[in-house]
Each structure stands twice: as C-alpha cells, then as structure tokens.
Copies of this chain bind each other. A is one copy, B any other.
C-alpha cells in the first residue's frame, strides 16, 4: 500500500489517535476531566490503556488536545459580520450554525459546558483574551445595528448569552429533552427546533424572520 491508491492513506497512528480522541470526547463529556478515567477511554477506543498513553503523554494532554479542537468549532460567519449586513440574516444563520453544532457534535458541546461549569481551569489567558475581544467586536456591531434602527434596543450581551444558552441546551440537556419528548430528536426535529428558535429570538428583537427559516 502506498500513497497512490484509491483510498485516502491513513497511518496507524492517525487512525488510533482519532479513535482515542473520539472515545475521550465521549468520556470527558460524560464525566468531566476529573471524573473521566483513562481506562474507560481506552476501553471505548478498544485499545489497551498503555496505548492511549503512548499517543498522548497524559490524561491532561489528551484533554487539552480535545479542548483546542473544540474551540475551533466556535468559528462562524457571524465573526466577520459588519454593520452593513442584515441583522436578521446574520443572527438567523448564527443560531442555525449553533444548532447544527448541537446536533452533530453534542459531546463537544457537553465537554465545553463541563469545562465552564468547572470554572474554566484549562482555558488559558490567550483564549480568554481572544474570546473577550471577539465579544467586544460583536457587541459593537450589534450596537451599531441598534443605532441605525435595524434592531430594537436590547442588551447585546444578553442577546448573545440567550442564543448560546438555547442552542447549546439541545446538546447539553439532550438526555432530559429525549426523556420528556419520549423520543430522540431527529434531523427534522432539529430543523423544526431551529426555525422555532430563530423565530423566537428574531421576533423578540423586532426582526422579521428570513423566509428560509419559516
């Protein structure tokens, strides 16, 4: 087997590393950093524990590798929005992006939630600064929208918090949601919940809902 065959070449190392990352995401999402067990990560990855520690030198470095991956998920089109854009379009797509993460990467969302609930001990100063300046930029744009009368006066912080809260809830609290609904959320249910949420937030902000979310 060499590089020029039909299937994407993937080394044993890459393959195992990815099995470990997947297993670890699940375990950390269930039990948090302190509660997760290396042995259980190994079991879930179907590898001996020593092998996990061969690829990642410690439980902590495995956790940090995952966390870094997850933070990249947060990027979205909203990052580059400016006052010239249509707030209804931008916010609707931002909400939809967030819902899509909850649907496709619920464990990533849960892991992040646990990290925050834990007091964010592994989010370093660099990330916090970056996050804070992202926030400042987004808040500024929202304020400009309000000044231009494109948006009803509302606190930009609370608006963003509410968007995060509702969209992430579908991942973090999926167990409760499924229990109460009596059935798991399908792709269609997610589409419905997304439209519902877009409508709630946009209407709540005095915006009209883009047709694609009706």
Chain A residues in the interface with B (C-beta under 8 A)? 29-36, 110, 113-114, 116-120, 128, 131-132, 135, 154-155, 157-158, 161-162, 164-166, 168-170, 172-173, 175-177, 179-182, 192-193, 196-197, 199-201, 203-206
Contact = CB atoms under 8 A, between A and B. Distances in A.
A57 to B, nearest CB: 21
A117 B179 contact: no
A142 to B, nearest CB: 13
B165 A30 contact: no
A30 B110 CA distance: 14
A interface SS class? helix
Contact of A172 (B35, B117, B162): B117
Contact of A204 (B33, B161, B199): B199
Contact of A32 (B114, B158, B181): B114
B180 A119 contact: no
B200 A162 contact: yes
Contacts of A197: 158, 162
A125 to B, nearest CB: 11
A35 B121 CA distance: 14
A164 B169 contact: yes
Contacts of A114: 32, 114, 117
Contact of A30 (B31, B118, B166): B118
A155 B35 CA distance: 36
A192 to B, nearest CB: 7
A30 B117 contact: yes
A31 B34 contact: yes
A154 to B, nearest CB: 7
B193 A158 contact: yes
